Structure 1
């Protein structure tokens, strides 16, 4: 193993650098040594004080055969000096006992007494050994956090751990397992950043940014950029020998690609070659694929203004860095994700954290401008991190709470916080009000994203805090996992509690991801109206499409910024939250959940989750597709035809309910901010009127063609054809069959259905990347989206003539 040179601290301890090398334990030859170390009172916390030599040998044979456990002996100048065990926490006593993250590695360290090892006691040896062990683990870029679970009584180890950057989580009761006695443990962990800070070492938080992974990320995103910019007719590849070529500005990008229905390009990342013309024009030299350089070269064709270019390049850089991380940590195969483990909650959240692509259309789709590396590891959905949300108390003169009928704020808070946490918050608020003279009864509680509190509210709303109108209360204690939308959280501690959506002042994919306090006022009313409409509609009941309602919302309006800005300002979207029903409440026995975005997820072997689900189901692909289209496509078309009601049904906003890999129904979410009623035909309560939108008749059908066909199904069809499950013709025929069956059983909506012309020859190509390239901080006026759309001609309709 690689030798680790240890720096030392000044003081009374020995400052001679210690050099350790690590080698695997050989149970046959090392058993006597390990028995001398372990079967002692000194090592009593290992629970093997009375073990025989044979028992120690057998234990290490078991470890050597376990793919999730590794035992290493550390040597100093050829002398064995301590034992290091590395293990996967999810396959140990710790399974389910703490909030595990992908990238966690467990550590056991046995430091034998000098008398048991024939050595002389040396000051600082324990710290040197632990430091070397952590350096050894962190040398693996896939390890993000080291977890330990020492006996709670072992205070000497707790002190040592804290000096190297470990932070205690809590005491937990660990069960007895073979080779591991039951114990009360103090679970603690050490991150890369904490270890660097504690030891004065260089930070390794960005260790995923290696040359090889960076090249793979560049090729992946560049392939997508060529494909999507060609799809939107911003760039025009030409046929060439062996493939295609894109020329311009002294450079050529040669590549192989297949072109599918809807002018969908699937560019092979490995095939991309860059050739740059020499200054004298006499030849060309090979270049390195670089999507940021690509964008700069073609900035004129892409319509990127000087003001937009730097932020767009920053978002591309973040997208590339995220892809490097995902190469390391999104390791589950498509089949593993499709089959699951039998735990619907854990499987749902594993799928949520395994997605590697983001929005399928946008090239810069993981920008998250404003988040640093440590923030990324804590808050990005692909890290699988779990966090505690912060809570604040906000004065009612600046805050508005609304909820569905029958749900008041006390009932909601009792359910979300529990009596003990709510009592603690009340005590903190009472104490804060002593110095301001404000009445604690005049406050409302709301959850806050930790980043938002630390980086935004505590600075921008400093005056509100100083005057006592905004009081920080601490965390609720529940652990939440960020979802694909990054500002929405799923409660892992109590999965039946609500989703929480918070404001996050981070730019991502063309918008600041705040949450409007003004919009929050009508959110529950909109959700109530939607539920009443769904309950009264037989077709929606037949398809069993369901809503995940946003049942309560709260928004805070800073009076200074509210007066100084218009309704679209990000300063009006800095502090708000909503509570959304948990999808777990919708599950029946034997059912599972998956974000619909997962259908497009492709694993490291090039296999898609959609194909894996079809194989898992045992159905023919066309039959599976029929079930899927009946669950997803038909209810959305019906809502438009029957009620002029439209959703934003991209993959992250739809959750599939499955049984044995077969879609049973869909759960629609993100309702109040995304739904609209087009035109005046459908009556709306006054409180819901803000969702009404006036659009030209010709744009109505684009809700289907743009949001469903071009922005999702376009990507799904070629994946299934590539895995020889269904041809593209079979795919689009299955969708058309579901639509025709819908029309046949709903004569009352036949006229409005026909007016959508879903089987016409072509439809307008509405371009999303063009919007982001035009303005990557505010793509559209959400109050009047129709006037801001950008078009690039028409696409041939894959349903035409079917």
Structure 2
């Protein structure tokens, strides 16, 4: 089915799903109220001058699970209209008193999201939940709908249709990287474990003949190959950004364009991280993370220089803790080390410190161990985000995994929370280190459908330290401490509470009601798992109170309203979430 056919066939369905998501998430963030009639499942929301009626049910976190097919939009004249995202966006414009100028950029994101949603629906119609359980990690990237909270989660602002088809994960495309030679003395480089950049890293992507060809190109230009490092860049980034932004560096041979070469890569869900897909030598050792100056969800997807030199030391330190800490050893937790990274500043933009941040994040690379390199025979790895995906028959993937495991739902959840939540919580309370555990950052390794362990990743920018000095942090390299954000306990706990409980488990828990596990029971299992961990480590009791997961109410972080108000194109800083509201904590009430 081509794009025009998919859009025609799935347009109404995609719009209804998106409208349901927007109403649910904007209500959750406090943009408007949802009223319930005497029939508790019949709900209504007034947005602008329109009234939306639907079947829905309030969930334990306060958000609504809406039946998209039941949605009806009634305008002021009591006329029913089409249920379409563009009409809802116009209603929100009026409701939130937004200018046409500000809304226009969100129209672009909305259309791009609907475009990809229609094509994904056409493709996913062929798959069952059982098929999804059999997908490789690379195949999973194409089947995940995207960020569950952001309304327009596939905006990719700056890309056209051809770019999407070549570089977006839902199209399952593959391509070669472009290679540059960059003078060593001009680069910021971070490298750990005595790795050799060209021989250990670049050689995993380029053949010996390609490396010789590049060396000969440099020599033919009267340049010494040993003075340069070979740096991969995304072909879109080179064509659309780097070839112009680094024209001075090209002129003085700081940067030499070498051309496309190497193994084929395929985009992961984050778009800028790429998996090697044609490694004939065996399992690929590394994934590669590259900047893409496109706006997607909340920010431009560049790579900042701040963490480049510290990142390899941070990931090496966490990997060492996973291998030596008794609790993490018992849990089987592993880290996907990021052993090397590099960054080149643009001479022109580096003089403009207050320029929009995207101009300071144009050219860099992070090498990361591949998840596949950590798997043993019989293992199957899943992105946590895949668990709440559903097939075209409405069967959630998580229920298929539970079925395959042969365990009761409660026991399966205990296994999941022990494998996933406990390691993140332990790193925080024991070592003062927080990693943001959203759905695409958490890789769950299962065997026969049973969660066994997780693979940690993303240590550059998605890692924070507790503000309080604790002795366990003394051994963390100073280079890491100098660049890593430190937060007080009451805020850093949100990397787990909001980053995982709200952003992942909030969407997972309602799905188990299909097999008669209520949301309260779901969070009772989570609470019990955390309490069991605390019982194993009484020596950390004082920290449990400071990093309290069981308060009656917790801060609610809002993303969509913040994005709607943020000057996304001209800001020198990334968007920050709204933190104005509180909500009831299911963990607290699960123990009452």
Question: What TM-score range do you get, normalising by the shorter chain?
Answer: over 0.9
Query: 1:264 Cα deviation (Å)?
Result: 2.3
Structure 1 position 214 matched with structure 2 position 11: yes
CA–CA separation in structure 1 for the residues paired with 2:531 and 2:567: 39
Distance 1:538-1:379 versus aligned 2 partners, 3 A rule: same
Q: Is contact 2:321–2:328 with CA below 8 Å preserved after alignment?
A: no
CA–CA separation in structure 2 for the residues paired with 1:671 and 1:604: 36
Paired position in structure 2 for 1:314: 108
Q: Which runs of 5+ in 2 are unaligned?
A: none
Paired position in structure 2 for 1:25: none
Paired position in structure 1 for 2:149: 361
Distance 1:302-1:618 versus aligned 2 partners, 3 A rule: farther
CA–CA separation in structure 1 for the residues paired with 2:485 and 2:550: 25
Query: 1:397 Cα deviation (Å)?
Result: 3.5
Alignment of 1:369-388 (within 5 A): 369-388=157-176
Paired position in structure 2 for 1:584: 372
Paired position in structure 2 for 1:247: 46
Deviation per residue, 1:583-613 (Å, 9 max, x gap): 1221111111111110111111111111111
Distance 1:445-1:496 versus aligned 2 partners, 3 A rule: same
Q: Is contact 1:499–1:579 with CA below 8 Å preserved after alignment?
A: yes
CA–CA separation in structure 2 for the residues paired with 1:778 and 1:637: 36
Q: Which runs of 5+ in 1 are unaligned?
A: 1-139, 142-205, 279-283, 341-345
Scaled by the length of structure 2, the TM-score of the pair is 0.93
Deviation per residue, 1:309-366 (Å, 9 max, x gap): 221221111111111111111232111111x1xxxxx6222222211x2111111111
Q: Is contact 2:354–2:572 with CA below 8 Å preserved after alignment?
A: no
CA–CA separation in structure 2 for the residues paired with 1:451 and 1:241: 55
Q: Is contact 1:761–1:797 with CA below 8 Å preserved after alignment?
A: yes
**Aligned pair partner of 2:443 in 649, 655, 665:** 655
CA–CA separation in structure 1 for the residues paired with 2:16 and 2:508: 21
Rg bigger for which structure?
1
CA–CA separation in structure 2 for the residues paired with 1:770 and 1:717: 24
Relative CO higher for 1 or 2, CA cutoff 8 Å, sep ≥ 6? Answer: 2
CA–CA separation in structure 1 for the residues paired with 2:12 and 2:538: 55
User: What SS does the aligned partner of 1:499 have?
Assistant: strand
User: What SS does the aligned partner of 2:377 have?
Assistant: coil
Deviation per residue, 1:694-717 (Å, 9 max, x gap): 434422332322112111111100
Distance 1:248-1:574 versus aligned 2 partners, 3 A rule: closer
Distance 1:517-1:328 versus aligned 2 partners, 3 A rule: same
Paired position in structure 1 for 2:387: 599
CA–CA separation in structure 1 for the residues paired with 2:234 and 2:317: 29
Alignment of 1:42-61 (within 5 A): none
Paired position in structure 1 for 2:65: 266
Q: Is contact 1:232–1:792 with CA below 8 Å preserved after alignment?
A: no
Distance 1:303-1:497 versus aligned 2 partners, 3 A rule: farther
Paired position in structure 1 for 2:509: 717
CA–CA separation in structure 2 for the residues paired with 1:773 and 1:714: 23
User: What SS does the aligned partner of 1:665 have?
Assistant: strand
Paired position in structure 2 for 1:71: none
**Aligned pair partner of 1:734 in 513, 525, 542:** 525
Paired position in structure 2 for 1:449: 234
CA–CA separation in structure 1 for the residues paired with 2:341 and 2:539: 36
Scaled by the length of structure 1, the TM-score of the pair is 0.69
User: What SS does the aligned partner of 2:554 have?
Assistant: strand
CA–CA separation in structure 1 for the residues paired with 2:494 and 2:153: 22
Query: 1:521 Cα deviation (Å)?
Result: 2.1
Structure 1 position 347 matched with structure 2 position 142: no
CA–CA separation in structure 2 for the residues paired with 1:420 and 1:689: 41
CA–CA separation in structure 2 for the residues paired with 1:655 and 1:299: 38
CA–CA separation in structure 1 for the residues paired with 2:457 and 2:219: 37
Distance 1:581-1:237 versus aligned 2 partners, 3 A rule: same
**Aligned pair partner of 1:473 in 250, 258, 263:** 258
Deviation per residue, 1:548-589 (Å, 9 max, x gap): 011111111122211223486212211101110011221111
Query: 1:296 Cα deviation (Å)?
Result: 2.3
RMSD across aligned C-alpha pairs, in angstroms? Answer: 2.1
Paired position in structure 1 for 2:84: 290
Paired position in structure 1 for 2:218: 429
CA–CA separation in structure 2 for the residues paired with 1:779 and 1:564: 13
Query: 1:426 Cα deviation (Å)?
Result: 1.2
Query: How many residues are treated as equivalent by the alignment?
Result: 579
